[in-house]
Amino acid sequence: MYSILRRMVMREMMEQGVDLNALVSASAATYYMRSGSSSVNAGIREGALLVVDCSVKPVHGSIVIAAVNGRYVMRRLLLRERPALQHLDRLNDLIDAESLEDEQEGDAAIFGVITYIINDARKKKFDDNPCI
C-alpha cells in the first residue's frame, strides 16, 4: 500500500514540477539570507535558507528580519496590546517596537518578512515528530 501511494505522489510531483521561483512574489523586494542561528520554536535551523520579502506587510505573529542596534536579527512581531519584537526562543525577551515605522527615532526597524524557510535535512538529526 505504502509503495503504491509513494509512486502516485512521485508521479504527481514529476508532472507538476517544482518551481522555486514560485516562492518569490516580488523579485525586486525579495532577498535570500542564511540563518546565523537556530530557533526551535520557529523551525529554523542554523544555516537555513530564508526567503525574505520586503514587500509583504508584517502582521501580528510574522517572523521578520529586523535591524536592531546595527545587526540583522530574526524576531517575531507582536502587534497586540503594545507592539514589540519577540525573541524566537526566549519568549520573555521583548524589544519595544513603538517606533518601528521611523528608523531615525527608534533603535529597531523591520527589514522584511520571512516568507519561506528551507532547512538542510542532511546536516542534523531530522525530527520526525515536530511540535511546531
Mean pLDDT of the region 125-131: 55
Q: Is residue 125 part of a domain?
A: no
Q: Is residue 8 part of a domain?
A: no
> What's residue 9's pLDDT?
74
Summarize pLDDT for 56-75 with one digit per residue, the tens.
999 999 999 998 878 888 99
Q: Is residue 10 part of a domain?
A: no
Q: Give the chain's domain count.
A: 1
Q: Is residue 9 part of a domain?
A: no
Summarize pLDDT for 4-16 with one digit per residue, the tens.
777 777 777 677 7
Q: How far apart are CA 103 and CA 107, in angstroms?
A: 7
Summarize pLDDT for 19-47 with one digit per residue, the tens.
777 777 778 889 999 998 888 878 888 88
What is the domain range of residue 25? Answer: 18-118
> What's residue 103's pLDDT?
47
Q: What's the mean pLDDT when you consider all of the chain? A: 78
Summarize pLDDT for 88-109 with one digit per residue, the tens.
877 676 776 655 544 444 455 8
DSSP string, the chain: -HHHHHHHHHHHHHHH---GGGG-S-GGGEEEEE-SS-BTTTTB-TT-EEEEETTSPP-TT-EEEEEETTEEEEEEEE-SSS-EEEESS-TT-EEE-TTTT-TTTSSEEEEEEEEEEE--TTTS---SS---
Q: Is residue 35 part of a domain?
A: yes
Q: What percent of the chain has pLDDT over 70?
A: 77
Q: Is residue 128 part of a domain?
A: no
Provide the CATH number for the domain around residue 88.
2.10.109.10
Which has more confidence, 65 or 132? Answer: 65
- The answer to whether the CB of 66 falls within 8 A of the CB of 72 is yes
pTM: 0.71
Q: Is residue 4 part of a domain?
A: no
Q: Is residue 36 part of a domain?
A: yes
> What's residue 39's pLDDT?
83
